[in-house]
Homo-oligomer: A and B are copies of this chain.
Amino acid sequence: MGSNAETRRSGCPISCSLDLLGDKWSLLIVRDMVMLRKHYFKEFLASAEGIATNILTDRLNRLEGSGIISKQPDPENRRQIVYTLTEKGVALIPVLVELMSWGKIYAGTTSVDRDKARRMQQDRRYKQRVIRELTEGCTSTPGRS
């Protein structure tokens, strides 16, 4: 299940991105790493959306295979594996932020978030600050739970 035979449907960069990320789980894992600072299998498993273990394994392998994340044995606890974002993965933060912004306004439930999101859409500097903060948080060392 976890093998890697990615075939590109076309040369279009959007299509290429979707070939790697176009499903319901891959970007959620990246979200977990970026927004919730998760680094461990069991942490992803505990997320609200309820991913199954076999799907999680598969997605982690694919994301590693396409160079978005890297997996290493945890130096502090050799029983577990640390998943971290690569530069390629960190570069997905703007995508995540736009998806979040859109979702808050157009796919969400609460109106509080909506207003905050609308503000972010108009105030580009604010958005840039959010992206920068998230990026810095990801390029620094984990710092653990």
Contact = CB atoms under 8 A, between A and B. Distances in A.
Interface of A: 8-20, 22-25, 27-28, 31, 35, 47-50, 66-67, 88, 91-92, 94-96, 98-110, 113, 117, 124, 128
A104 B96 CA distance: 17
Report, nearest first, the 7 A-B pairs whose CB atoms are least far apart: A13-B103, A17-B103, A10-B48, A16-B107, A22-B24, A9-B49, A13-B104
Given A9-B49, A24-B22, A50-B9, A91 B106 contact: yes
Contact of A94 (B98, B103, B104, B108): B98
Nearest to A66: B107
Assembly stoichiometry (copies): 2
Contact of A88 (B16, B50, B106, B110): B106
B109 A17 contact: no
Contacts of A11: 48, 108-110
A14 B103 contact: yes
A67 B106 CA distance: 9
Contacts of A18: 24, 27-28, 99
Nearest to A128: B124
A100 B24 contact: no
